[in-house]
Amino acid sequence: RKEVEQDPGPFNVPEGATVAFNCTYSNSASQSFFWYRQDCRKEPKLLMSVYSSGNEDGRFTAQLNRASQYISLLIRDSKLSDSATYLCVVNPNTGGFKTIFGAGTRLFVKA
Amino acid sequence: DARVTQTPRDKVTEMGQEVTMRCQPILGHNTVFWYRQTMMQGLELLAYFRNRAPLDDSGMPKDRFSAEMPDATLATLKIQPSEPRDSAVYFCASGYGSGNTIYFGEGSWLTVV
Protein backbone atom coordinates (compact mmCIF):
# COMPACT_ATOMS: atom_id res chain seq x y z
CA ARG A 1 0.00 0.00 0.00
CA LYS A 2 1.33 3.45 -0.88
CA GLU A 3 1.97 5.85 1.98
CA VAL A 4 -0.24 8.52 0.41
CA GLU A 5 -2.99 7.70 -2.06
CA GLN A 6 -5.14 9.94 -4.22
CA ASP A 7 -7.69 9.44 -6.94
CA PRO A 8 -5.77 10.46 -10.09
CA GLY A 9 -8.91 11.76 -11.79
CA PRO A 10 -9.19 13.60 -14.05
CA PHE A 11 -12.04 15.62 -12.66
CA ASN A 12 -13.76 17.60 -15.39
CA VAL A 13 -16.04 20.29 -14.00
CA PRO A 14 -17.74 23.41 -15.36
CA GLU A 15 -16.86 26.86 -14.12
CA GLY A 16 -18.66 27.68 -10.90
CA ALA A 17 -18.87 24.07 -9.76
CA THR A 18 -17.82 22.76 -6.38
CA VAL A 19 -15.34 19.90 -6.45
CA ALA A 20 -13.80 17.82 -3.67
CA PHE A 21 -10.70 15.65 -3.54
CA ASN A 22 -9.78 13.10 -0.92
CA CYS A 23 -6.44 11.66 0.03
CA THR A 24 -5.66 8.79 2.39
CA TYR A 25 -2.43 8.18 4.29
CA SER A 26 -1.14 5.00 5.87
CA ASN A 27 0.96 6.21 8.80
CA SER A 28 -1.33 6.99 11.72
CA ALA A 29 1.51 8.89 13.43
CA SER A 30 1.60 11.50 10.66
CA GLN A 31 1.53 15.02 12.02
CA SER A 32 1.69 17.53 9.18
CA PHE A 33 -0.47 17.73 6.09
CA PHE A 34 -0.54 20.01 3.09
CA TRP A 35 -2.10 20.49 -0.31
CA TYR A 36 0.19 21.56 -3.13
CA ARG A 37 -0.77 22.64 -6.61
CA GLN A 38 1.24 21.80 -9.72
CA ASP A 39 0.66 23.42 -13.10
CA CYS A 40 1.75 21.70 -16.29
CA ARG A 41 5.54 21.64 -16.61
CA LYS A 42 5.98 23.63 -13.42
CA GLU A 43 7.14 22.85 -9.93
CA PRO A 44 4.70 22.05 -7.11
CA LYS A 45 3.74 25.02 -4.98
CA LEU A 46 2.07 25.17 -1.61
CA LEU A 47 -1.68 25.73 -1.81
CA MET A 48 -2.48 25.43 1.88
CA SER A 49 -1.61 23.64 5.07
CA VAL A 50 -4.21 21.38 6.66
CA TYR A 51 -4.97 21.90 10.33
CA SER A 52 -6.70 19.53 12.70
CA SER A 53 -9.73 21.76 13.05
CA GLY A 54 -10.01 22.33 9.32
CA ASN A 55 -9.18 25.58 7.61
CA GLU A 56 -10.34 27.80 4.83
CA ASP A 57 -8.57 30.10 2.41
CA GLY A 58 -10.98 31.92 0.16
CA ARG A 59 -12.69 29.35 -2.06
CA PHE A 60 -10.55 26.51 -0.70
CA THR A 61 -11.35 24.44 2.38
CA ALA A 62 -9.15 21.70 3.80
CA GLN A 63 -10.23 19.08 6.31
CA LEU A 64 -8.38 16.42 8.27
CA ASN A 65 -9.96 13.22 9.58
CA ARG A 66 -7.40 11.47 11.77
CA ALA A 67 -9.67 8.58 12.71
CA SER A 68 -10.10 7.58 9.07
CA GLN A 69 -6.66 8.85 8.03
CA TYR A 70 -7.71 11.08 5.21
CA ILE A 71 -7.55 14.71 4.24
CA SER A 72 -9.78 16.53 1.83
CA LEU A 73 -9.75 19.64 -0.31
CA LEU A 74 -12.93 21.42 -1.37
CA ILE A 75 -12.89 24.03 -4.10
CA ARG A 76 -15.96 26.20 -4.42
CA ASP A 77 -16.94 28.34 -7.41
CA SER A 78 -14.28 26.76 -9.63
CA LYS A 79 -12.37 29.03 -11.99
CA LEU A 80 -10.65 28.17 -15.24
CA SER A 81 -7.39 29.04 -13.49
CA ASP A 82 -7.96 26.27 -10.95
CA SER A 83 -7.12 23.71 -13.65
CA ALA A 84 -4.03 21.96 -12.33
CA THR A 85 -2.88 18.86 -10.49
CA TYR A 86 -3.49 18.88 -6.74
CA LEU A 87 -0.99 16.99 -4.63
CA CYS A 88 -1.68 15.69 -1.16
CA VAL A 89 1.37 15.88 1.11
CA VAL A 90 2.05 14.11 4.39
CA ASN A 91 4.93 14.44 6.79
CA PRO A 92 5.12 11.23 8.84
CA ASN A 93 7.25 13.04 11.40
CA THR A 94 8.69 9.78 12.66
CA GLY A 95 11.91 11.38 13.80
CA GLY A 96 13.10 12.17 10.31
CA PHE A 97 11.94 14.92 8.02
CA LYS A 98 10.43 12.82 5.30
CA THR A 99 7.81 14.56 3.17
CA ILE A 100 5.69 12.26 1.04
CA PHE A 101 3.61 13.36 -1.94
CA GLY A 102 0.61 11.63 -3.39
CA ALA A 103 0.53 11.08 -7.13
CA GLY A 104 -1.90 13.96 -7.57
CA THR A 105 -5.44 14.54 -8.75
CA ARG A 106 -5.88 16.24 -12.09
CA LEU A 107 -8.56 18.92 -12.34
CA PHE A 108 -9.88 20.46 -15.53
CA VAL A 109 -12.28 23.36 -15.21
CA LYS A 110 -14.08 24.17 -18.44
CA ALA A 111 -16.02 27.22 -19.55
CA ASP B 1 12.30 36.68 -3.37
CA ALA B 2 14.15 33.62 -2.02
CA ARG B 3 13.98 30.54 -4.18
CA VAL B 4 15.57 27.16 -4.75
CA THR B 5 17.88 27.20 -7.74
CA GLN B 6 18.54 24.13 -9.85
CA THR B 7 20.91 23.51 -12.73
CA PRO B 8 20.76 22.42 -15.46
CA ARG B 9 17.17 23.24 -16.44
CA ASP B 10 17.29 20.85 -19.38
CA LYS B 11 19.74 18.07 -20.16
CA VAL B 12 19.84 15.60 -23.03
CA THR B 13 22.54 12.98 -22.73
CA GLU B 14 23.47 9.65 -24.17
CA MET B 15 23.05 6.41 -22.29
CA GLY B 16 26.12 5.62 -20.23
CA GLN B 17 27.11 9.22 -19.62
CA GLU B 18 27.43 10.76 -16.18
CA VAL B 19 24.84 13.36 -15.22
CA THR B 20 25.23 15.78 -12.32
CA MET B 21 22.38 17.96 -11.15
CA ARG B 22 22.95 20.79 -8.70
CA CYS B 23 20.73 22.58 -6.26
CA GLN B 24 21.13 25.71 -4.17
CA PRO B 25 18.59 25.61 -1.34
CA ILE B 26 17.00 28.71 0.12
CA LEU B 27 19.43 30.40 2.51
CA GLY B 28 18.78 29.27 6.07
CA HIS B 29 16.89 26.12 5.14
CA ASN B 30 18.36 23.04 6.79
CA THR B 31 16.44 20.27 5.03
CA VAL B 32 16.98 19.42 1.37
CA PHE B 33 15.05 16.89 -0.69
CA TRP B 34 15.56 15.31 -4.08
CA TYR B 35 12.43 14.10 -5.89
CA ARG B 36 11.96 12.47 -9.27
CA GLN B 37 8.74 12.89 -11.22
CA THR B 38 7.46 10.85 -14.13
CA MET B 39 4.00 10.49 -15.59
CA MET B 40 3.82 6.90 -14.40
CA GLN B 41 5.20 7.23 -10.86
CA GLY B 42 4.36 10.75 -9.77
CA LEU B 43 6.73 12.43 -7.31
CA GLU B 44 9.14 9.92 -5.78
CA LEU B 45 11.34 10.89 -2.88
CA LEU B 46 14.89 9.87 -3.73
CA ALA B 47 16.86 11.25 -0.80
CA TYR B 48 16.85 13.97 1.81
CA PHE B 49 19.31 15.72 4.06
CA ARG B 50 19.11 17.58 7.32
CA ASN B 51 21.92 19.91 8.28
CA ARG B 52 23.86 18.40 5.34
CA ALA B 53 23.65 14.88 6.77
CA PRO B 54 21.87 12.27 4.63
CA LEU B 55 18.84 11.00 6.52
CA ASP B 56 17.30 8.66 4.03
CA ASP B 57 18.24 7.65 0.52
CA SER B 58 16.20 4.48 0.38
CA GLY B 59 14.27 5.77 -2.61
CA MET B 60 17.36 5.98 -4.74
CA PRO B 61 18.83 3.21 -6.94
CA LYS B 62 22.14 2.80 -5.12
CA ASP B 63 24.10 1.27 -7.92
CA ARG B 64 23.98 4.34 -10.13
CA PHE B 65 22.66 7.26 -8.11
CA SER B 66 24.42 9.26 -5.44
CA ALA B 67 23.43 12.39 -3.53
CA GLU B 68 25.66 14.67 -1.50
CA MET B 69 25.73 18.03 0.21
CA PRO B 70 29.29 19.28 0.09
CA ASP B 71 28.22 22.47 1.85
CA ALA B 72 25.08 24.19 3.09
CA THR B 73 24.56 26.02 -0.19
CA LEU B 74 24.96 23.10 -2.57
CA ALA B 75 23.30 19.72 -3.00
CA THR B 76 24.17 17.39 -5.86
CA LEU B 77 22.51 14.38 -7.44
CA LYS B 78 24.67 12.27 -9.69
CA ILE B 79 23.73 9.46 -12.05
CA GLN B 80 26.51 7.27 -13.38
CA PRO B 81 25.98 5.60 -15.78
CA SER B 82 22.71 7.08 -16.98
CA GLU B 83 20.02 4.93 -18.61
CA PRO B 84 16.95 5.83 -20.69
CA ARG B 85 14.68 4.88 -17.76
CA ASP B 86 16.25 7.73 -15.78
CA SER B 87 14.51 10.23 -18.07
CA ALA B 88 12.36 12.34 -15.77
CA VAL B 89 12.10 15.70 -14.05
CA TYR B 90 14.30 15.92 -10.98
CA PHE B 91 13.18 18.41 -8.37
CA CYS B 92 15.14 19.75 -5.46
CA ALA B 93 13.22 21.21 -2.54
CA SER B 94 14.25 22.81 0.72
CA GLY B 95 12.63 23.62 4.02
CA TYR B 96 13.36 24.42 7.61
CA GLY B 97 12.77 22.03 10.47
CA SER B 98 10.26 19.23 10.51
CA GLY B 99 6.69 19.35 9.35
CA ASN B 100 7.00 22.70 7.67
CA THR B 101 6.39 23.84 4.12
CA ILE B 102 8.98 22.87 1.55
CA TYR B 103 9.80 24.92 -1.52
CA PHE B 104 10.70 23.51 -4.89
CA GLY B 105 13.13 24.52 -7.55
CA GLU B 106 11.98 24.64 -11.17
CA GLY B 107 13.36 21.17 -11.82
CA SER B 108 15.97 19.61 -14.05
CA TRP B 109 14.40 18.00 -17.13
CA LEU B 110 16.58 15.01 -18.01
CA THR B 111 16.35 12.99 -21.21
CA VAL B 112 18.64 10.01 -21.67
CA VAL B 113 18.75 8.68 -25.24
HSE-up of B36 (CA within 13 Å, CB side)?
21
Average pLDDT over residues A67-85: 97
HSE-up of B15 (CA within 13 Å, CB side)?
4
Q: Which of A56-65, A94-103, B33-42 has the lowest mean pLDDT?
A: A94-103
Q: How far, in Å, are B19, B24, B46 from residue B106 at the CA level?
A: 18, 12, 17
* Beta-ladder partners of A105: A86
| pLDDT value for A96 | 57
HSE-up of B4 (CA within 13 Å, CB side)?
31
Please check whether residue A94 touches B, CB under 8 A: no
Condensed to tens digits (0 to 9), the pLDDT of residues A29-47 reads 888 899 999 999 999 999 9
B48, A31: Cβ pair inside 8 Å? no
Average pLDDT over residues A56-60: 97
Tell whether the model's pLDDT for residue B4 goes beyond 80: yes
Condensed to tens digits (0 to 9), the pLDDT of residues B25-50 reads 999 999 999 999 998 888 999 999 99
The backbone torsions φ and ψ at residue B84, rounded to the nearest 5 degrees and listed phi first, read: -55, -35
Label residue A93 by pLDDT band (50, 70, 90). low
The backbone torsions φ and ψ at residue B98, rounded to the nearest 5 degrees and listed phi first, read: -110, 140
Higher pLDDT, B12 or A52: B12
Neighbours of A51 (CB within 10 A): 12
Please check whether residue B33 touches A, CB under 8 A: yes
